[in-house]
Amino acid sequence: MFELSDVVKVTTHTAEIASLEKIIGHSFAQPELLQQALTHSSQAREAEALRPGSSVRNGDNEQLEFLGDAVLGLVTTEELFRRFPQFSEGQLSKLRAHLVSKNHLISVAERLDLGRYLRLGRGEEKSGGRSKAALLVDALEAILGAVYLDAGLETARPLILNQIVLPELETFVSMGTAGKVTDYKSALQERLQAEGRPQPAYVLVNESGPEHQKTFTIEARLLAQGNGRTEFTARAKGSTKKNAEQDAARQVLEFLATQAPVLDGGRS
């Protein structure tokens, strides 16, 4: 029986789809593609279980994720090839690896607030699936695949560039670290050494979550030149201490990029 509650659910979901379309800048001619991109396998399998004996398989986002990953790699590679003709193959590969990495994509997915749009099974919902990095990244890549199928590469390209590639590249270029993006800690160390400044202190300030899924919070404390006081503190979370330290180091580099250069001996 079709109940009023079902109408409310459909209406709400349609409104949420429209909201996400506005965020990503594309209105789907085939909105079912976007719905599939947001559907985790747990939800699809639960829906199938409600129809025992049926041979119809509910779609989830796994194949779209596979396609979106390839589209992301192609668009990113083209942009780097065009933008950095002076880079070696190794430098281009490292830069691309960062831009398509899970660590970078999770920050994009969180900024787009993709968690609120996911279609999850009850188990994933109860276990905090809306904030799981793997699910968010998979959904982001699936959305890219859905846009590609719905409107082609020329529509997917600006979405990828504007939301994923260019903001990060602009940060690297402004800091002069585009060739070192895979190791922010080393880039920060080299910069501070060149400026004669003390190295930052990396401090574990929190550790939470079950043993198999811990989250570490690290502070990178930048010391002021001369007096040893803390000039700037960056805080970052990660699934490992190393990842959190790298993100904190990136924040310190971004802070330094906004500061006026210190002239040797105060001379102009």
The radius of gyration computed from the CA coordinates of the chain, to the nearest angstrom, equals 22
Has 254 been annotated as catalytic? Answer: no
Find the DSSP H helices in the chain: 4-24, 31-37, 41-49, 62-83, 89-99, 102-111, 122-126, 133-151, 153-160, 166-175, 184-194, 241-257
Q: Considering 141, 168, 219, 245, which one is annotated as catalytic? A: 141
For the range 56-64, what are the long-range contacts, defined as Cβ-Cβ under 8 Å and sequence gap of 24 or more? 60/36, 61/36, 61/37, 61/138, 61/139, 61/142, 62/138, 62/142, 63/145, 64/33, 64/36, 64/37, 64/141, 64/142, 64/143, 64/145, 64/146, 64/149
DSSP string, 73-131: HHHHHHHHHHH-TTS-HHHHHHHHHHHTSHHHHHHHHHHTTGGGG-B--HHHHHTTGGG
Q: Please enumerate, as own/partner, the contacts of 259-267 that have beta carbons within 8 Å and a separation of 24 or more.
A: 262/195, 262/225
**247 catalytically annotated:** no
Q: Which of 60, 69, 150, 219 is catalytic?
A: 69
Catalytic residues: 69, 141
